[in-house]
Amino acid sequence: MTEQALSYVDTHFSRFVEELKDLLRIPSISTDPDYAPEVRRAADWLAEHFRKLGFLKVEVFETEGHPIVYAEYTVDATRPTVLVYGHYDVQPPDPLELWTSPPFEPEIRDGNLYARGACDDKGQLFMHVKAAEAYLKTAGTLPVNLKFLLEGEEESGSVHLAPFIEAHRELLAADVVVISDTAMFAPGVPSITYGLRGLAYVEVELTGPARDLHSGVYGGAVENPINVLARLIAGLHDEDHRITIPGFYDDVRPLTEEERRTFRELPFDEKAWMEEIGVSAVRTEKGYTILEAITARPTLDVNGIWGGYQGKGAKTVLPAKAGAKISMRLVPDQDPDDIVEKTRRYFEQKTPPTCKLRFTSLHGGHPVLVDTRHPAMQAAAEAMARVFGRRPYFTREGGSIPVVADFKRLLGLDSVLMGFGLNSDAIHSPDEHFGLDRFRQGIESIVHFLERYGQRPT
């Protein structure tokens, strides 16, 4: 039945692309409350799509935030059950002026589909929908029992997802989770991601005087909160580019010699990597390669900073406030709550009496490592080998998908991360795109995966 499904994909591919474009036209930006109706529209669009495909159970679940789309096609209790997770929300498209074509008016150029969400993650989740369609419209059934859990809050921290999973354990019962929301190692070089970093995200605000002051009249005695903030931030790394927060590395599992050897064997071209992002030098934690530093070591980055005068020209002001958003990428076995507390202590202890500190934790997620010997990992590797003509590498990636740790903790489920993005797809950036070749290869890989995994005894 796989052959028929694959030839169906071939025949209907251009319609699949048109449908994806319709989904991409919906600006489902989860972080901006003004777009809540659009997020809902995307959820309804997907639910309607599942219903048209003949999914037997389709529901849009309300949460305190954006809705969760659930769809299910059960075939036979003796078959394994695959739970597909994806997110239909997207990042804000700003800065708008840097897009070649408008972010919510999908356009194909040079074989790439350009739109916000084309790769992250509408294009990738849609591959699973279309692989299911290919079986349903040819064989009238699926090789596995299939469940979809699609959320609308991934890009804003998935805050209502864990409680939902906890409250719907039975509904979500499965043998494995499959997610396409990561990247391939390189063009034409498939990979399965077995490690993701976690995240701890905080906001710091320092207040000095009760109001903005004339810097000539008060400067010299009143300490400037921007100066203080800059000093505290500069102190967060040492000369070896290690993070100085006391206890930050306590729970970091060191890379094994074997892992480091595997990393070295990967065909990672440091020079090409640097060129693509326009940097002429890098700064990694001392002793680590770029690839290790961006995937398997923890980091701390300031994501935004504010205070004082930002307008045109000069203004001699001694500002009352300064603030920064700071995120840390975590690796096993760091715990986001523990890291937030350690970071809070750092700022509490270093804030001088001239300033008042407001410290807020925004959101976080646990890091994960998946056992590559899992039967579904192996089925996915075989499936991708069929399509790409070479076996995928097992790699770690630096991004975060917080729900992966929740699936393990709450449902005992491992996740197979079979991603078809490329780091050059510009996710979260202007001109995000997805190669139509990879959209097709992704669908084909999933078709093969479902067949192979469906043959496993449960």
Q: Tell me which residues touch ligand BES (CB under 6 A).
A: 120-121, 154-155, 157, 181-183, 199, 365, 397, 399-402
Q: Minimum distance from CB of 120 to Zn ion (Å)?
A: 4
Q: Minimum distance from CB of 76 to Zn ion (Å)?
A: 32
Q: Does 120 participate in binding Zn ion (rule CB under 5 A)?
A: yes
Q: Of the two residues 81 and 124, which places its CB atom closer to Zn ion in the complex?
A: 124
Q: Which option in Zn ion, ligand BES, none does residue 383 bind, with CB closer than 5 to 8 A by kind?
A: none
Could you say which of 89, 120, 121, 425 is catalytic? 89
Cβ-contact 68, 164 below 8 angstroms:
yes
Q: Give, as ranges, the residues between 302 and 361 that touch Zn ion (CB under 5 A).
A: none
Q: Give, as ranges, the residues between 165 and 194 that touch Zn ion (CB under 5 A).
A: 181
Q: Minimum distance from CB of 23 to ligand BES (Å)?
A: 16
Question: Cα dist. 146→241, 400, 416 in Å?
Answer: 46, 24, 15
Could you say which of 133, 154, 205, 432 is catalytic? 154
Q: How far apart are CA 422 and CA 208, in angstroms?
A: 45
Q: Of the two residues 215 and 289, which places its CB atom closer to ligand BES in the complex?
A: 289
- Residues whose CB is less than 8 angstroms from the CB of residue 284 and which lie 6 or more positions away in sequence, other chains included: 241, 290, 292, 293, 297
Q: Of the two residues 67 and 421, which places its CB atom closer to ligand BES in the complex?
A: 421
Q: Minimum distance from CB of 124 to ligand BES (Å)?
A: 8
3-class DSSP assignment, residue 298: coil
Per-residue tokens: 418: 């079979």
Q: Of the two residues 397 and 432, which places its CB atom closer to ligand BES in the complex?
A: 397
Question: Cα dist. 31→21, 36, 153, 425 in Å?
Answer: 22, 9, 8, 21
Q: Of the two residues 67 and 143, which places its CB atom closer to ligand BES in the complex?
A: 67
Q: Which option in ligand BES, Zn ion, none does residue 451 bind, with CB closer than 5 to 8 A by kind?
A: none
Per-residue tokens: 210: 């009760």
Q: How far apart are CA 327 and CA 202, in angstroms?
A: 6
Q: Does 121 participate in binding Zn ion (rule CB under 5 A)?
A: yes
The verdict on whether 89 is a catalytic residue reads yes
Q: Does 432 participate in binding Zn ion (rule CB under 5 A)?
A: no
Q: How far apart are CA 235 and CA 130, in angstroms?
A: 50
Cβ-contact 153, 66 below 8 angstroms:
yes
- Residues whose CB is less than 8 angstroms from the CB of residue 412 and which lie 6 or more positions away in sequence, other chains included: none
Q: Minimum distance from CB of 433 to ligand BES (Å)?
A: 14
The residue of the chain with the least Cβ separation from ligand BES equals 399
Question: Cα dist. 440→9, 395, 446 in Å?
Answer: 8, 22, 10
Q: Minimum distance from CB of 155 to Zn ion (Å)?
A: 7
- Residues whose CB is less than 8 angstroms from the CB of residue 379 and which lie 6 or more positions away in sequence, other chains included: 449, 452, 453, 456
DSSP 47: H
Q: Of the two residues 48 and 276, which places its CB atom closer to ligand BES in the complex?
A: 276
Question: Residues 54-93 vs Zn ion: string with x where CB under 5 A?
Answer: ----------------------------------------
Per-residue tokens: 453: 């995994």
- Cα 47–193–329 angle (5° rounding)? 95
The verdict on whether 64 is a catalytic residue reads no
- Residue ranges binding Zn ion (CB under 5 A): 120-121, 181
- Show which residues are catalytic: 89, 154
